[in-house]
Structure 1
Amino acid sequence: MTTPKFILALREKIGHDLLWLTGITGVVLDDAEHILLVRRADTGRWSLPAGILEPGEQPAPALLREIQEETAVEAEIIRLVSIDTLPPGAYPNGDQIQFLDLCFSCRPLRGEARVNDDESLEVTWFALDDLPPLQDRELTYIANARTSDPLPRYTGRPA
């Protein structure tokens, strides 16, 4: 995964210290309730399309950009699904990070799903009853995106 230039510039100043970033994640479901997933080049695991919000970007348009860049699918935002603070983590080089993740439910508009950049090894649609292994938080995002409740989930708000 390519590290954004603004993060490289910050790392020159703060070294490996904890860096607070805003992540954006999309649950892209078609009318047949197939979900768009990418197999990440950095870890080899399947994942929801996601990215890092860059300075000055608005979350929804940034996510739509990420989805198109990673999968060649143009989508639209349906609603904000959840707001979560993820646990701190570290990369193999020692860089410490923590994400505030904004997850959105999306609908595809056009485009054939395919690998569209160097961040993904595969891109495809999966039936919800035939998903590859995903992280627990991603399964929660999918479940939350499929609810009829229009309000986003966040810690402290009951499901």
Structure 2
Amino acid sequence: MTRSEYVKSIRSRIGHDLLQLPGVTAVIRDGEQFLLARHAHSGLWSLIGGAVEPGEEPSDAVIREVREETGARVRITAIVGAYGGEPMMVQYPNGDRVAYVTVAYECELLSPAVADLDELFEVGWFSRHEIADLPRREWIDRVLADTPEAPPR
């Protein structure tokens, strides 16, 4: 988990206490397959995303996060929804506690995705059925349930 200078400055004052952060999530699909990433800090699969920096537009943040974590370029096609609450709370291995409120964007992949091995173990494409069997962040089930079925090809 890389931390921005903004979060580092807050952590220097509050330690590991709960911090609520705005976030973004990319729902990247190819037909009925979704791109997921397995995170190095937890070993769990999840959608790609991260925190919105101060002054940053959420739409710019999702594009930046996908680029940072996978090297890929995306184009936003729709907003899926906004999510928060208990399922979005995380405790990182270093003890930092975070409650995210995230906006999920449906995105079109414009270039290949490769895992940034600092933050991710791997990336992969999975159907909704396959995702149900993965060790994952369970909040992604809510996001995928709100993502419309792919139009027929």
Question: TM-score normalized by structure 1?
Answer: 0.81
1:81 paired residue number: 80
| SS of corresponding position for 1:101 | strand
Gaps of 5+ in 2: none
| 1:113 matched residue in structure 2 | 113
- Any conservation in 2 of the 1:27–1:104 contact (CA below 8 Å)? yes
Cα distance, 1:122 vs. partner?
0.4
Match of 1:142 among 141, 144, 148: 144
Superposed CA deviations along residues 114-143 of structure 1, whole A, max 9, x for unmatched, are: 113511110122233322233332012012
Extract unaligned runs of 5+ from structure 1: 149-159
Distance 2:85 2:63 in 1: 21
> How far does the alpha carbon of each residue in 1:84-118 deviate from its partner, in whole angstroms, 9 at most, with x for none?
22324544444332221111111112x22211351
Q: Secondary structure at the match of 2:75?
A: strand
Contact 1:113–1:124 (Cα < 8 Å) also in 2? no
The code of the aligned residue for 2:14 comes to: I
Alpha-carbon shift at residue 60 of structure 1 (Å):
0.9
Q: Distance in 1 between matches of 2:53 and 2:117?
A: 18
Deviations 1:7-47 (A, max 9, x none): 111112223333221111111112x2211111101111111
Match of 1:152 in 2: none
Residues 1:97 and 2:98 aligned together: yes
Q: 1: distance between equivalents of 2:43 and 2:21?
A: 23
Q: For the structure 1 residues 96 and 46, does the alpha-carbon distance in structure 2 shift closer, same or farther, using more than 3 Å as the test?
A: closer
Cα RMSD (Å): 2.0
% of aligned pairs identical? 36
Assess if the C-alpha contact under 8 Å between 2:41 and 2:93 holds in 1.
Answer: no
> Given residue 146 of structure 1, which amino acid in structure 2 is its aligned partner?
P
CA distance in 2, matches of 1:129, 1:90: 27
